């Protein structure tokens, strides 16, 4: 199995590339979804969230009170408290997903995260893919996707690193300034490069 990390700024097209790869048979793990999953499934995280954010963090059926937590984190400036509870558990959970993918015989494992470069453990993934798109295009695309204001999106963008300065750490760069059809073609070309590296048994490093 070959392991791939994919990153890029808000609205660059990471999830779209992952959807294309998923259709072709890759095992995809999205860091945000993994965090949300852990907030429900990990008893220690649950306990810490209840202690820090109160009973309102969960609703009666045990599911996460997303609206409340999002409001506490982003409107009340408590995002670091939330991250301090969840982030330390992410690497092990990602490794577990990787092991699951390997066991199930997937050739390609993909980990999608906006903060991949900040949180990457050395040697954790075989390849890094960076998706880049012009700021104005990203803004327009996210405005359509999220129905949010340009002002809101600009604020979110300004909190992120400038990915144009991170090209050195990427093994592959996908520029997403064209149409969706063009993105699909590029994503498929990259996928075809990874596929033979996935082999049948184990990671690239074992095949070399």
Residues binding ligand ATP (CB under 6 A): 8, 10-16, 114, 141-142, 145, 176, 178-180, 183
Q: Minimum distance between the CB of residue 139 and ligand ATP, rounded to whole angstroms?
A: 10
Q: Give dist(CA 148, CA 68) in Å, integer.
A: 19
Measured CA to CA, the distance from residue 12 to residue 8 in angstroms comes to 6
Contact criterion met (CB below 8 Å) for 11 and 136: no
Nearer to ligand ATP by Cβ, of 54 and 178: the residue is 178
Residues 6+ apart with CB under 8 A from 111: 3, 4, 5, 6, 29, 31, 94, 97, 98, 125
Output the smallest distance, CB 54 to ligand ATP, in A: 28
Nearer to ligand ATP, 5 or 8 (CB): 8
3-state secondary structure of 7: strand
CB of 60 to ligand ATP, least distance (A): 30
Which residue, 52 or 115, is less far from ligand ATP as judged by CB? 115
Q: Which is nearer to ligand ATP, 9 or 198 (CB)?
A: 9
174 near 17, Cβ under 8 Å? yes
Which residue, 99 or 180, is less far from ligand ATP as judged by CB? 180
3-state secondary structure 103-164: HCCCCEEEEECCCHHHHCCCCCCCEEEEEECCHHHHHHHHHHHHCCCHHHHHHHHHCCCCHH
Q: What's the closest the beta carbon of residue 159 comes to ligand ATP, in angstroms?
A: 12
Name which of 22 and 52 has its Cβ closer to ligand ATP: 22
Q: In whole angstroms, how close is the CB of 96 to ligand ATP at the nearest point? A: 23
């Amino acid at each position: 199995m070959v392991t791939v990390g994919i990153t890029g700024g808000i609205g660059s097209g990471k999830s779209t590339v992952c959807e294309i790869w998923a259709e072709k048979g890759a095992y995809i793990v999205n860091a945000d979804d993994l965090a949300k999953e852990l907030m429900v499934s990990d008893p220690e995280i649950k306990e810490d969230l209840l202690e820090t954010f109160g009973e309102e963090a969960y609703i009666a059926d045990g599911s996460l009170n997303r609206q409340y937590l999002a409001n506490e984190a982003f409107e009340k400036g408590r995002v670091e408290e939330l991250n301090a509870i969840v982030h330390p558990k992410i690497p092990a959970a990602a490794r577990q997903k990787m092991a699951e993918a390997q066991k199930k015989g997937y050739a390609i494992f993909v980990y999608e995260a906006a903060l991949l470069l900040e949180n990457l453990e050395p040697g954790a993934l075989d390849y890094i893919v960076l998706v880049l798109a012009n700021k104005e295009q990203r803004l327009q695309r996210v405005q359509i996707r999220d129905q949010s204001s340009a002002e809101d999106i600009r604020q979110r963008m300004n909190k992120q690193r400038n990915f144009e300065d991170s090209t050195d750490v990427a093994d592959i760069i996908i520029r997403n300034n064209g149409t969706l059809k063009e993105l699909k073609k590029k994503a498929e070309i990259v996928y075809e490069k990874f596929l033979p590296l996935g082999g049948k048994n184990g990671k690239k490093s074992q095949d070399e």
